[in-house]
């Protein structure tokens, strides 16, 4: 269940967008959910749950 570099880069790019969008304003929960759903579809649900957990621990 390891992620390749491309999948990790995609996740980091999308989460970077989420962080930029939320800076100084209320973040749309719908937009954030849509962003994560795009990533889930891109790399598969099982892999995503792993990388989301690992990235969240890093924050």
The ranges assigned to domains in the chain are 5-57
Contact 14, 39 (CB under 8 A): yes
Q: Residue 48: its pLDDT value, please?
A: 60
- Angle (CA) 45-48-52 rounded to 5° is 145
Per-residue DSSP letters for the chain? -PPPHHHHHHHHHHHHHHHHHHTTSPPPHHHHHHHHHHHHHHH-HHHHHHHHHHHHHH-
Per residue in 9-53, pLDDT (tens digit) is: 777 777 777 667 666 455 565 666 667 777 767 666 656 666 666
- Cα gap 19→50, rounded to integer Å: 20
Q: Residue 50: its pLDDT value, please?
A: 64
Q: Residue 24: its pLDDT value, please?
A: 47
Q: Residue 1: its pLDDT value, please?
A: 47
pTM assigned to the model: 0.40
């Amino acid at each position: 269940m390891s992620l390749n570099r491309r999948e990790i880069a995609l996740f980091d790019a999308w989460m970077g967008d989420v962080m930029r969008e939320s800076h100084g304003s209320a973040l749309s929960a719908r937009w954030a959910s849509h962003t994560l759903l795009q990533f889930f579809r891109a790399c598969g649900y099982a892999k995503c749950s792993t990388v989301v957990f690992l990235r969240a621990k890093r924050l």
